[in-house]
Amino acid sequence: MAHHFGVIRFPGSNCDDDALHIVDTVLADRGSTGEFLWHKETSLGQVDALVVPGGFSYGDYLRAGAMAAHAPIMEAVIAFAKSGGPVVGICNGFQILCEAGLLEGALTRNESLRFICKDIFCRIEGRPTPFSKSLPAGRHVGMPIAHAEGCYRHPDVERLEGESQVIFRYCDAEGGVTAEANPNGSINNIAGICNAAGNVVGLMPHPERACETVLGAGGVAGLALFESVLETLSSGATR
């Protein structure tokens, strides 16, 4: 069955090509297709799932994601999310979804105050979401991060944890959630979360950069996230 992804393209998005490459080329044999959706549009057309990609939307000048959250297309994105459609925000996309109120909390400057690009590990936890379903909870996978503002903050993180909304947590190569394994100072090593309904997911690591062995990221763990959406869509579980 064919499933169509929309990849939102803001001025300043720069992992848009990367995301489209995965859903449109790498996963083509799994029936996946994709297209860009321009930020000035007000409707999404026929899409089954949305990717809000990484980058520096509008230069990320004020706060990461702040300006993109107000782009014309966001109203349609919010409506799609509210109706239960699967939405994933990766890196800048995560920041945008927080700023747009689709996800809770905020992402602030890395504790080191430096941009950081490297491979990390994170553990899959929390409730099953369309993007993590096919990965057993408790498993840890390698993915790269590349961000300056990935330090997650939440005024009531206990509640978030209580609701099992923490989906990805930074850990070490053995799966241990330690302070050393936390690359940016995020509270409780949080790397990714979902909304209360579970259909909107945001994460700082880049699954789309860990889908092809040739790219040297040391694995293809990211593929599982996209495959998970395809499975979810095939089972007709959403919308």
Please tell me the total number of residues recorded for the chain in this structure: 239
Q: Which of residues 131-190 bind other proteins (CB under 8 A)?
A: 144, 146, 148, 151, 153-155, 185
Looking at the Cβ atoms of 128 and 192, the one nearer to other proteins is 192
CA 149-153-174 angle, to 5 degrees, is: 80
DSSP 36-50: EEETT-S---S-SEE
Tokens of 131: 């993007």
Catalytic residue flag (residue 161): no
**Residue window 11-50: x/- pattern of binding to other proteins, with contact defined by CB under 8 A:** xx-xx-xx--x-----------------------------
- Active-site option among 91, 98, 194, 211: 91
Sequence-distant (6+) residues with CB within 8 A of 132 are 124, 126, 167, 168, 201, 225, 228
Tokens of 100: 């747009």
Catalytic residue flag (residue 21): no
- Of the candidates 228, 181, 229, the one whose C-alpha atom is nearest the C-alpha of residue 205 is 181
Minimum Å distance from CB 170 to other proteins? 15
User: Where does this chain touch other proteins (CB under 8 A) — which range of 7-15, 124-132, 163-171, 194-202?
Assistant: 7-15
Cβ count within 10 A of residue 114: 10
CA 231-107-222 angle, to 5 degrees, is: 30
Among 63, 84, 163, 175, binds other proteins (CB under 8 A): 63
User: Where does this chain touch other proteins (CB under 8 A) — which range of 8-16, 81-89, 121-129, 132-140?
Assistant: 8-16
Strands (E) located in 82-138: 87-90, 106-108, 116-124
User: Where does this chain touch other proteins (CB under 8 A) — which range of 44-52, 77-85, 110-118, 197-205?
Assistant: 110-118
- Indicate whether 239 belongs to the interface with other proteins (CB under 8 A): no
Cβ(6)–Cβ(43) below 8 Å: no
Q: Give how many residues touch other proteins by CB under 8 A.
A: 49
Catalytic residue flag (residue 91): yes
Minimum Å distance from CB 70 to other proteins? 6
User: Where does this chain touch other proteins (CB under 8 A) — which range of 73-81, 128-136, 161-169, 211-219?
Assistant: 211-219
Q: How far, in Å, are 7, 17, 71, 188 from residue 37 at the CA level?
A: 6, 12, 12, 34
Q: Could you list the active site residues?
A: 91, 206, 208
Residue ranges in contact with other proteins by CB under 8 A? 11-12, 14-15, 17-18, 21, 54-56, 58-63, 66-67, 70, 99, 105-106, 108-118, 144, 146, 148, 151, 153-155, 185, 206, 208-209, 212, 214-217
